[in-house]
């Protein structure tokens, strides 16, 4: 098998190896532990790698062999714009809700991608299998390596369908961004510590996709602008950038972690505001507010690091939705701020108590219900206006 090592093929080769390696590792982990998100990311990473491998093999001399190497490049679908969007969206859904499964309707999203692959398969069967292998007709184009349907790739098969796929991909990106914003509100309403479930990696994944699309579109526009279009060498730089994105996706995606014991169950909601509460409901919430505040003062449930909205609702013997409305409407807070405001006050009390002088600030934070340094620092400054160390120094001055 031919492979010419040169500057252009050699710089893309490590990215292709990285992508193939990590997509395989993710697939194995997905099968071993039954984690759908790993399987979806494996497919996504593999498609990124396929796109870069096309240019790598081209610069490795496959287009110039004028044999089966060249024919493979013409008839194999290396780019799958129609599949990128659904895979990205369902990867987000599976990360935000470990119980999420691909139902029958979900597979409808992949019909355009299957049609895309079907076009390539039809061209291969018609040109290579039927016309060339069975009937013995020679290939007429590209030094005897490409049949009639294979020649359409330069006319419309690649270009026109690529441009049809771009709006669909952007629509999936926008949809995922909107649902990610909903997810951020969801975790603030249901969890007291969001550090491990913030899924900032998904936000960065969306940025990576936007950058990848912008790179592709930018080079396409440049090709239209300059007379004669861009050369293969000039287009190579866009694939080098995609190779860098493969490194980011593979390493960050493989290390992405969501604790399985946390009851994440996010489901996107239709856009639109909820109906407002009636005056009678508001009065009922005011009564429940006193019950909730008295419970917080007497039982101090905020000292439990993994306290959730559902767990507190069980303690208060009220539906989680009622507790959420109570916090939002009567106290003007989400669940996360409500609990962490108590924890911040608990830290202040302990800093001012001689009983806890032997503990570090982080030790005091953990004793007060915080479970991560990042959440502690952010919440404490939000509710006191000072960092924990600044507050401690100010108390010593007094």
Q: CATH number for the domain including 388? A: 1.10.10.60
For residue 141, list its beta bridge partners: 146
Q: For residue 56, is it within any domain?
A: yes
pLDDT at residue 190 is higher than 80: yes
Q: Does 205 lie in the same domain as 94? A: yes
Q: Does 287 lie in the same domain as 150? A: no
pTM: 0.87
Do you know the residue count of the chain? 398
Domain range for residue 380?
Answer: 279-397
Q: For residue 261, is it within any domain?
A: no
Q: Does 393 lie in the same domain as 340? A: yes
Specify the number of domains making up the chain: 2
Q: How confident is the model at residue 159 (pLDDT cuts 50, 70, 90)?
A: low
Q: For residue 193, is it within any domain?
A: yes
Q: For residue 157, is it within any domain?
A: yes
Q: How many CB atoms lie within 10 A of CB 355?
A: 7
Q: For residue 344, is it within any domain?
A: yes
Q: CATH number for the domain including 149? A: 1.20.1070
* Percent of the chain whose predicted confidence (pLDDT) is above 70: 90
* Percent of the chain whose predicted confidence (pLDDT) is above 90: 55
Q: What is the pLDDT of residue 39?
A: 96
Examine the fold and report which residue of 255, 290, 322 is the final residue of a domain before the chain moves on.
255
Quick one: average pLDDT of 303-322?
Answer: 95
Q: For residue 218, is it within any domain?
A: yes
Q: What is the pLDDT of residue 158?
A: 62
Give the mean pLDDT of the chain: 88
In which region does residue 34 sit, left (phi positive, over 0), alpha (psi from -120 to 50) or beta (all else)?
left
Q: What is the pLDDT of residue 205?
A: 83
Q: Is 274 exposed, middle or buried (0-12, 13-18, 19+ CB in 10 A)?
A: exposed
Q: How confident is the model at residue 166 (pLDDT cuts 50, 70, 90)?
A: confident
Quick one: average pLDDT of 323-341?
Answer: 95
């Amino acid at each position: 098998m031919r492979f010419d090592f040169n500057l252009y093929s050699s710089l893309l080769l490590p990215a292709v190896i990285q992508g193939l390696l990590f997509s395989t590792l993710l697939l194995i982990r997905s099968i071993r532990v039954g984690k759908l998100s790993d399987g979806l990311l494996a497919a996504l990473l593999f498609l990124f790698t396929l796109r870069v491998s096309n240019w790598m093999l081209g610069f490795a001399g496959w287009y110039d062999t004028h044999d089966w190497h060249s024919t493979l490049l013409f008839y194999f679908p290396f780019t799958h714009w129609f599949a990128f969007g659904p895979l990205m969206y369902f990867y987000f859904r599976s990360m935000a809700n470990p119980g999420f499964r691909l139902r029958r309707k979900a597979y409808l999203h992949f019909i355009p991608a299957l049609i895309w692959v079907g076009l390539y398969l039809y061209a291969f069967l018609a040109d290579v299998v039927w016309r060339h292998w069975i009937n013995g007709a020679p290939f007429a184009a590209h030094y005897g390596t490409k049949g009639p349907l294979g020649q359409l790739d330069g006319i419309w098969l690649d270009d026109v369908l690529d441009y049809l796929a771009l709006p669909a991909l952007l629509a999936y990106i926008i949809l995922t961004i909107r649902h990610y914003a909903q997810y951020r509100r969801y975790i603030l309403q249901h969890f007291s510590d969001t550090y491990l479930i913030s899924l900032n990696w998904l936000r960065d994944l969306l940025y990576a996709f936007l950058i990848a699309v912008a790179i592709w579109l930018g080079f396409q526009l440049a090709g239209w602008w300059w007379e004669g279009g861009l050369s293969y060498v000039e287009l190579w730089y866009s694939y080098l950038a995609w190779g860098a994105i493969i490194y980011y996706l593979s390493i960050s995606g493989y290390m992405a972690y969501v604790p399985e014991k946390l009851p994440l169950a996010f489901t996107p909601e239709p856009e639109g505001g909820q109906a407002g509460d009636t005056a009678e409901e508001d009065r009922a919430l005011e009564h429940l507010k006193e019950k909730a505040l008295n419970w917080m003062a007497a039982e101090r449930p905020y000292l439990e690091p993994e306290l959730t909205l559902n767990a507190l609702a069980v303690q208060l013997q009220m539906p989680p939705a009622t507790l959420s409305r109570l916090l939002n409407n009567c106290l003007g807070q989400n669940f996360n701020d409500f609990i962490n405001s108590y924890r911040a006050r608990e830290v202040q009390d302990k800093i001012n108590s001689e009983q806890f002088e032997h503990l570090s600030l982080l030790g005091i934070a953990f004793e007060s219900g915080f479970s991560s340094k990042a959440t502690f620092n952010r919440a404490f400054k939000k509710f006191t206006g000072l960092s924990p160390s600044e507050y401690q120094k100010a108390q010593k001055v007094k």
